[in-house]
Structure formats: structure tokens, C-alpha cells
Amino acid sequence: MGEVQGTLLYLFWLIAIIAFVFEVWALVDALRTPAGAYEAAGKQTKKIWLIILGIANVVGLGGAANFLTILSMLPIVAFIAAAIYLADVRPAVKQYRNRGKGGSSNMGPYGPW
């Protein structure tokens, strides 16, 4: 039975590392998005999302470094917070990301020129 338990521990550790990568991705994306995009999309402010995702990254790092077990509640909640950002907030604010950087300034009446 010890070999099976060791394999499961490695599997859960791999899942924790993958979850941490998603949490880092969500935080980096939130940092790159302008603050006005959140308000324009009708989402929580950038500051609130940075706090949520920053805490999720700390907890996710704890899970990936085996300080917190994968089956405890905190790494799961951290992953859910990042998943909500990536699935709901990111698509909503994506259309506002390039505004203000000249992203839509080269649009003519029939498309880009």
C-alpha cells in the first residue's frame, strides 16, 4: 500500500503545481489589464482582484511547496478564485485592454487601415 500512497502524493503535488501556475497566470493577467477595464466591464475593481489573486498566489505557493496539503480547503479556494478570474473576468475585460494604447486608433470606417 505504501507505493500507491507515494504515487498519490506525487500526483497531488503535480496538481498543486499546475494550480499554482494557473494562479500566477491570473495574477499576471490582472496586473496587465488597465484599471478602467474592470469598471467598463462591470466587474470588481482592479485593486480587489489583485488582492484576491495575490492571496491566492501565496496560498497556491504553499500548496505547491507542500506546506499545505492539496486536500485542505485553502489551495482549493485559491484555485477557484483564479478560475473565476480566468473564466469570467478576463474575457469581459479583454476587449478594453488595448484601448488607450492606440489599439483601436487605426480603425477606418471599413476596418483597419
pLDDT digits (tens, 9 = 90+) for 39-48: 999 999 999 9
Nearest CA to 33 among 48, 12, 19, 21? 48
Q: Cβ distance 24 to 17 under 8 Å?
A: no
Element (H, E) at 44: none
**108: DSSP letter:** E
Per-residue pLDDT of the chain (113 residues; tens, 9 = 90+): 678 888 888 888 899 999 999 999 999 999 999 999 999 999 999 999 999 999 999 999 998 888 777 668 899 999 999 999 999 999 999 988 775 554 445 555 666 66
What is this structure's pTM?
A: 0.79
Q: Which of these, 83, 62, 82, lies nearest to 72 by C-alpha position?
A: 62
Q: What is the pLDDT of residue 22?
A: 97
pLDDT digits (tens, 9 = 90+) for 87-106: 999 999 998 877 555 444 55
Euclidean distance between CA atoms 70 and 84, whole angstroms: 19
